[in-house]
Structure 1
């Protein structure tokens, strides 16, 4: 048995996101915009779905994002370290400019889809395997009418989704997920492959702001602005 629906949610914005730094497994919290994104996304997701269970990475930015949804849905959170972001080794905390300057050869390999040596980053295959195992273990505890929500990280989600859809690990067909957006998969019925099918990718409340990564619009009417503005 398995959950009939799977929603994979990326965490809200952090300071590293706004500075275009590789986060990896650095445990950095949401910033004020990220908390607004998480709260806004939770409200939108719950207008469309009724989660049965929520499982979350042990990194604080994912846990804080999930907490908005859990409180609104009246559910507890299950924490699973297998849902962590891909480890980027020595590159964690660096920007693209840093990598071009100090790791030019390795960065060229990375940009070409390869695995640079001496960096200490997880491979896409390693990430896909551990995240898939975590997802499927939690999904197996649910039934076909249930919806499992997984709150994780951009690279972790794209690697796992590709794997669940039967794509090779060196396939790079997904654009990066927006903060506090989600991918929706449904379990395949019958003897078909793959076992999951994609309903939507990068779904979320992008109409909540003309620039989602900049935070709520200050030009909206006063009532809407009061509802969406983060007090911090």
Structure 2
């Protein structure tokens, strides 16, 4: 994904309100894309930095429907909901599903701009974390099947002699594999290695076993 300026997406079927919010955001220096329907917004959405300001009640897909569709599509854009009236049960549902904020349309413009600032900062943090995890998992993908097998034993705290016996290889080969693992993963200690394994979720699923002597 190429780096680009964040976009604030405004989705509201009220044309006058959509225009007013868009002007406010542009005046504050934001790039804005306005849509009058959730379906229109979703059809044109690309994986670019930003956030979403959505009316809660709209014909067709509602704001909550839009939020659910983003989640299903793997788009993690923070959502700020706007409503013509406060509705506590819906507010709770929206926040439980990860909404950044829930404001009434009569809220001061400062509150909306503050919510947008927080939403964009959250999106930037989440994108940076996802990029870091992709890079980390790419390091693990560079390991050979045998190195992954040795690694699984290493993070369980087993000694080279024990690993050699379990895998049916000699201890010197285990040492060579461990050196290759630490080099590929850019780590210097077993503690750092264990931390990276946990962060990357390498062995979350049941790992394959290997025949002895390979």
Q: Same fold (TM over 0.5)?
A: no
- Bigger Rg over Cα: 2
Q: Which has the higher contact order (CA 8 A, sep 6+)?
A: 1
More helix by percentage:
2
